[in-house]
Amino acid sequence: MVTQRYQDRLTRCSRLMKEAGLDALLLTKPANMFYLTGDGRLCAYAMITHEGKVALGVPSTDVDDVKLLAHFDHIAGFENEVGMIHSIAHGFEHFGIRAGTAGLEYTFLTQSMMSMLTHPHAKPAAVTVKDCTHIISQLRIVKEGPEIEFIGEAAKVADAGMTAAIKAVKPGVTESQVAAEAEYAMRQAGAEGFSRTYVSSGPRTNIAHGLPTGRQLEEGDLVMIDLHPIVNGYSADMCRTVCTGKPTVEQRAAYDLYLQAQQATVAKVKKGVEMGELEQTMHATLRDAGHAEHIFGPPIHGVGIEFEEAPLPAGHAFFHGEKAPTPLEANVVIAVGNCGLYTGAFGVRVEDTVVVTPEGPMVLTSYPRRLEKDT
């Protein structure tokens, strides 16, 4: 059943490659390798042909481990970066690719990595390269049933992490200590990892995505906590804002307004809706209340293997090498509430992971949305 899943994905990948005029994909981004082969790790590559054949190159120390996890037709181990270059060349030779076009993940690769993959010793001179970022995103955007289940499991782990984090919120505790409580609880609840943990407090809640520091929480601080646990290779995304004491009138008003905007946007999530309409719904509520200057960044993004992936709002998509999003299809998973309301004195934010269905939203993250923490 699992093998059939990867074969089906590779069949769809082959169709998109042929439409784009690609003879092969040379992937190094772990998330993309994981999606198409079942294993994604750094210092490795996957070569996918337009017939759906897969060659993997991994450190020689990892070959036996990858054999247990991945779907492939050919696997090779290498000792170092020079060995990786020669291994890639052998992949082209193994599949008989002497000319044509190979797809590379332009938005993932650094200049040095790009130079490595296009080195004369890595590929035949007659093989040209072009970006394949949008092709892989198109494959990954609509989630299969098991993928949604994994994201749902990650959402439950996020709930456990948020419970522990908010329990730790009190004057004198540092942002890093709050993050540590969340991360420990998520590991204990089944997470194999997490894609960053954001904790910011007091005036630092004006930061769009604040990494935790040694700042000690003070009485009356707002604390913004954003968690992204990974379970079975899939992420969830949830943010909550709480107060260390009794919130002020200004804090309460800003929080209630933001929550109203976020929930109104979630309510509009449905098959066929445009990302732009969702973005406009959220921002319009904030602008109409006089906060046009306090809005920053896109409020929505996709969730899956990565906690932030396609679909992305049109402007945001451009800078990530993605195509502008089409109307949302059923089984796309998005996060609503990616950026907050930043007043200058403090910021507020609430974010949830939501599945698009024909009938409406299915919200996976369930931790209570309350400014006051439970005592």
Tens of each residue's pLDDT in the chain, 375 residues: 568 999 999 999 999 999 999 999 999 999 999 999 999 999 999 999 999 999 999 999 999 999 999 999 999 999 999 999 999 999 999 999 999 999 999 999 999 999 999 999 999 999 999 999 999 999 999 999 999 999 999 999 999 999 999 999 999 999 999 999 999 999 999 999 998 999 999 999 999 899 999 999 999 999 999 999 999 999 999 999 999 999 999 999 999 999 999 999 999 999 999 999 999 999 999 999 999 999 988 899 999 999 999 998 877 766 777 778 899 999 999 999 999 999 999 999 999 999 999 999 999 999 999 999 876
Domain boundaries, the chain: 2-140, 142-363
pLDDT of residue 374: 76
pLDDT of residue 325: 85
336/142 Cα distance (integer angstroms): 17
pLDDT of residue 315: 73
62/55 Cα distance (integer angstroms): 15
Predicted TM-score of the model (pTM): 0.95
| 142-363 CATH | 3.90.230.10
pLDDT of residue 375: 61
pLDDT of residue 2: 65
The CATH classification of domain 2-140, taken from the options 3.40.50.720, 3.10.129.10, 3.40.350.10, 3.30.540.10: 3.40.350.10
